[in-house]
Amino acid sequence: MSEKSKVAVVGAGVAGLTTALLLSKRGHSVAVVAKHMPGDYDIEYTSPWAGASYLPVSAPGTREAEWDQITFAELYRLTTQVPEAGIHFQDVITYRREKDKGSVTADWFSELLKERPWFANIVPEFRTIPKADLPPSVDFGTRWKSMCINPAIYLPYLLSQCLKRQVRFRRGTLTHICEAVNFHPEYTSCSDIAVVNCTGLGSYTLSGVTDSSLTPARGQIVLVRNTAPAIIEVSGTDDGEDEVTYIMTRAAGGGTVLGGTYQKGNWSSAPDEATAERIKKRAVEWCPELVGKGEGVEGLDVIRHGVGLRPLRVGGARVEREVIGGARVVHNYGAGGFGYQASYGMAEEAVRLVEESLEEVKARL
């Protein structure tokens, strides 16, 4: 980049922080404004609630698969070379039960549960589990090496990498997307600042955007001190269509996330007690190694119960340009349940769109 450009990023979740970091690495002058920042736990801030693992659900040949592939390379580099990022390798075990076919979870995980998903070529040690080694209720399973992120370390890590590159941070709640320009300290006029919208589900109500194709996919979790030997993902549950079984141990003492739910259209922030009991029961059934020999759910040591709302978007995540009230806006939101595993691919595309819009402005001068 020959010229420094001014960019205001709205949002400090994984999307906003990754985009701000990549923009700053390209030499742009970046300011971030957000209602919530790393360290906060809030129903309007999804990123701290995530697992967060690399478990692609994208269909082959789609731009989502491309985002996942780009992100794999960077997460792998961070895991092997940057211990302070708070990511570690963990084996993944997927279990498919034919009776779950057509359920909400089986549809969501359809690529993940295939005999040979597209990502089998990029993740290490992908293999089929011999039938004799599967639990009796399981028809097919795979095992491979993946990565699990501890958001309590990783989000502050991204923030610190931004600070190192002179990104400025401000707390603020916008009512209209165009207000973002006022938060850039070098603001002179609307036309010389690009805005990147990384507000997640906030884009449902944010004026200038008000995207009604957004909907929450509510994820209730139980975070425990127990350790799991691997990430476990099951194609469905016997407890209802919108309940899910997954288990993952976060890096560096981040605890183990027991999931969960995938409840579309449900905005409720309060953990439901009965759901939590079912989550714990399923976790111990599928992963008895979580607790001591002979123990049941009473062997689980709960850190906290939580609910996060995945920013699901009908028609797919939105990474595109738009001019709103004279402001050049690039959107990067709506990643649903894949905001971490697609983060670098999505952010790279957003950066490319910002630079494209700046080139057009320069060409007009």
| Residue list for the binding site for FAD | 46-47, 199
Q: Which is nearer to ligand FAD, 255 or 311 (CB)?
A: 311
Task: Record the tokens describing residue 197, joined without a space.
Answer: 């919208």
Instruction: Give one DSSP letter per residue of 118-157, joined into a string.
Output: GGGGTSTT-EEPPGGGS-TT-SEEEEEEEEEE-HHHHHHH
Any residues with CB less than 8 A from the CB of 356 and at least 6 apart, and which? 321
Q: How far is the CB of 58 from ligand FAD (least distance, A)?
A: 11
Give me the least distance between CB of 343 and ligand FAD, in Å please. 7
Please give the Cα distance from 321 to 12 (Å, whole number).
Answer: 20
CB contact at 8 A, 53 and 342: no
Rank residues 219 and 236 by Cβ distance to ligand FAD and give the closer one: 219
- Helix orientation angle between 151-164 and 14-25, rounded to the nearest 10 degrees: 30
Cβ contacts of residue 211 below 8 Å, gap of 6+? 203, 204, 313, 318, 333, 334
Q: Which residues are annotated as a binding site for D-dopa?
A: 246, 337
Q: How far apart are CA 339 and CA 43, in angstroms?
A: 16
Binding site, annotated residues: 46-47, 199, 246, 337
| DSSP 3-state of 223 | strand
Quote the least distance from Cβ 33 to ligand FAD, whole Å.
6
Pairing state between β 243-249 and 6-10: unpaired
Residue 44 vs 139, nearer CB to ligand FAD: 44
Task: Report, in Å, the least distance between residue 364 CB and ligand FAD.
Answer: 30
Q: Which is nearer to ligand FAD, 72 or 338 (CB)?
A: 338
H helices within 167-310, ranges in order?
A: 273-286
**Least distance in angstroms from the C-beta of 199 to ligand FAD:** 4
Distances (CA, A) of 48 to 90, 127, 132, 146, 256: 20, 31, 38, 20, 14
User: Which residue, 40 or 139, has its beta carbon nearer to ligand FAD?
Assistant: 40
Q: How far is the CB of 43 from ligand FAD (least distance, A)?
A: 9
Report d(CA 103, CA 80) in Å as an integer: 36
Select 45 or 286, whichever has its Cβ closest to ligand FAD: 45
Residues that bind ligand FAD in the complex, under the rule CB under 6 A: 10-16, 33-36, 44-47, 49-53, 55, 172-174, 198-200, 202, 206, 219, 221, 259-260, 308, 310-311, 333, 335-341
